[in-house]
Amino acid sequence: MARRTNDLGRDRVGPLLLRLALPAIAAQLINALYNIVDRMYIGHIPVVGDAALTGLGVCFPILMFISALSCLVGVGGGSRAAIHMGAGNRELANEILGNCVALLLIISAAVTVLFQLWKEPMLFLFGASENTIGFAVDYLGIYLWGTVCVQIALGLNNFITTQGFATVSMATVILGAVINIVLDPVFIFALDMGVRGAALATVLAQAVSAIWVLLFLLGRRTKLKIQLRYLRLRPKVLLPVMAIGVSPFIMQSTESLVNIALNASLKYYGGDLYVGAITICSSIMQVFYMPLQGLAQGAQPIIGFNFGAGSLDRVRQTFRLLLRCALCLSCAMWAMLELFPGVFVALFNNKPELVSVAVPALRIYMGCLFMLGIQNACQQTFVALGQAKVSLFLALLRKVILLIPLIFLLPLILPNQVTAVYLAEPVADFLAATCTGLVFSQRFPRILKKRRSELAQNG
């Protein structure tokens, strides 16, 4: 009979990581397609494709922030649940799930109302112009009504992954992505709805994913089940969840701030054409970063469970394997983008004037992608170990402490100001990855030593 679950505490680490990581990588890539496919289709709308693509790019910071909120609750909740399951306390893990469901619903309602009221001034602030604001408002106005579906699908899917049901969590995003890919051309072109059609297709796809997640977490196979008695907000339960989740939240939400800074700077120094180019670069970065996220997501349940269970050799073994795989993956992706940038740019738009700007921009922007394997493996391992403070610092380091200031500082120093804006990304990536590696090499042995002492004291 086929195996239905993975034993996080006893299965061989290599094959176990493979079984968990491959579906997670596929899930992350497919999840990225929700918005990426929209941009690919929209960029090829006759006549107005480049303006529509730029308008959608201006929406990107808001979309990233909405996804980041699901990480704040879902990643933190999943990590805490894994640790308590490893320690044998399934009841508390179930309570964490219930509290997270309640919080996600409240966040969804608040975000929908506030962003609908303020969407147009926000979009102008984030880099929209008179030529692109109509496309941005049309897309975002529909997308926001699906906020609750995004929160449920992305946030609660972490509770499926953390139980070892990697294939089920992958199916969550596959269902939504396939529906989105099928509906996009129908709504955008066949029904002539343009950017509104792209937004509607995305909302419907996310709704299907959300229903799938809820059905599983209410069903028979799940070890963690949504229970009415736990659908409440208890600070004692949620504060530790959010302390861990704040790191991945900041990683994604600061991506929003980065996009705002990039759009505003490029609009000032170059204009709409360069904002369109950074939309393409950011979209490609999102897709290529997702495999690293998926790899770490596959390793996190193993690391968290065994750390809670006291199997520290398995924690160390899993991290080493994660780091090697992440480095190989990031180097391979970097080589592809540096050698064939035009292939990837053409997926979004083939107008010669935009392509001539986007191709060299992509090469610069992705210059240190190979270093992100170190950054991601170390920082996400801190998340799995429940190290909220250090993971928060490292999350802040790359985007807030380094990248955003560099976006504004480098154009004041270098003669080509547009190139200087693009160059901020690789400089920040290199510095952040170097610092993260050094911090991890110092703190990781201490964390394991402290846990070993705790286990010895408890008998």
| Burial (CB count <10 Å: 0-12, 13-18, 19+), residue 227 | middle
pLDDT value at position 56?
82
| Burial (CB count <10 Å: 0-12, 13-18, 19+), residue 450 | exposed
Specify the higher pLDDT residue, 442 or 8.
442
pLDDT value at position 16?
84
Render 139-196 in DSSP notation, one character per residue: HHHHHGGGHHHHIIIIIHHHHHHTTT-HHHHHHHHHHHHHHHHHHHHIIIIIS--THH
**Residue 458 within a domain:** no
Residue 369 has pLDDT above 70, yes or no: yes
pLDDT value at position 228?
84
Q: Give the chain's domain count.
A: 1
Taking CA atoms, 215 is separated from 26, 76, 168, 219, in Å, by 21, 22, 11, 6
pLDDT value at position 419?
95
Contact present, 126 and 264 (Cβ < 8 Å): yes
Domain that holds residue 393: 13-453
**Residue 163 within a domain:** yes
3-state secondary structure of 116: helix
How many residues can be counted in the chain? 459
Q: What is the pLDDT of residues 417-433, one digit of tens each?
A: 999 999 999 999 999 99
| Burial (CB count <10 Å: 0-12, 13-18, 19+), residue 84 | buried
**Residue 6 within a domain:** no
- Residue 353's pLDDT band, with cuts at 50, 70 and 90, is confident
**Residue 4 within a domain:** no
Residue 300 has pLDDT above 60, yes or no: yes
In sign, the C-alpha dihedral spanning 371, 407, 48, 144 is positive
| Cβ-proximal residues to 357 (8 Å cutoff; 6+ apart), any chain | 273, 274, 276, 277
Among 99-108, 130-139, 167-176, 263-272, which stretch is predicted with the lowest mean pLDDT? 167-176
Specify the higher pLDDT residue, 234 or 334.
334
Angle at 350 between CA 347 and CA 352, to 5 degrees: 145
| Cβ-proximal residues to 404 (8 Å cutoff; 6+ apart), any chain | 254, 257, 258, 261
Helix 195-217 / helix 133-143 crossing angle, nearest 10 deg: 20
pLDDT value at position 35?
62
- Which token pair is 318? 């899993």
For residue 178, give the amino acid letter.
V
Contact present, 159 and 97 (Cβ < 8 Å): yes
Residue 2 has pLDDT above 50, yes or no: no
Mean pLDDT of all residues in 180-192: 90
pLDDT value at position 3?
47
Q: What is the pLDDT of residues 72-86, one digit of tens each?
A: 898 888 888 878 877
Q: What is the pLDDT of residues 121-138, one digit of tens each?
A: 999 888 788 888 999 999
Mean pLDDT of the chain: 87
Q: What is the pLDDT of residues 372-401, one digit of tens each?
A: 999 989 988 988 887 878 887 887 888 889
In whole angstroms, give the CA distance from residue 373 to residue 80: 24
- Which token pair is 202? 């995305």
Contact present, 278 and 361 (Cβ < 8 Å): yes
Among 40-49, 109-118, 277-286, 306-315, which stretch is predicted with the lowest mean pLDDT? 40-49
**Residue 320 within a domain:** yes
DSSP state of 131: T
**Residue 297 within a domain:** yes
pLDDT value at position 336?
94
**Residue 103 within a domain:** yes
In whole angstroms, give the CA distance from residue 247 to residue 242: 9
pLDDT value at position 1?
35
Specify the higher pLDDT residue, 49 or 438.
438
Residue 4 has pLDDT above 80, yes or no: no
Helix 272-309 / helix 235-269 crossing angle, nearest 10 deg: 160
Contact present, 149 and 206 (Cβ < 8 Å): yes
- Which token pair is 266? 């490029």
pLDDT value at position 27?
67
**Residue 459 within a domain:** no
In whole angstroms, give the CA distance from residue 230 to residue 352: 56
- Residue 34's pLDDT band, with cuts at 50, 70 and 90, is low
Only one residue has tokens 């990426």, namely 36
- Please state the separation of Cα 289 from the chain's center in Å: 8
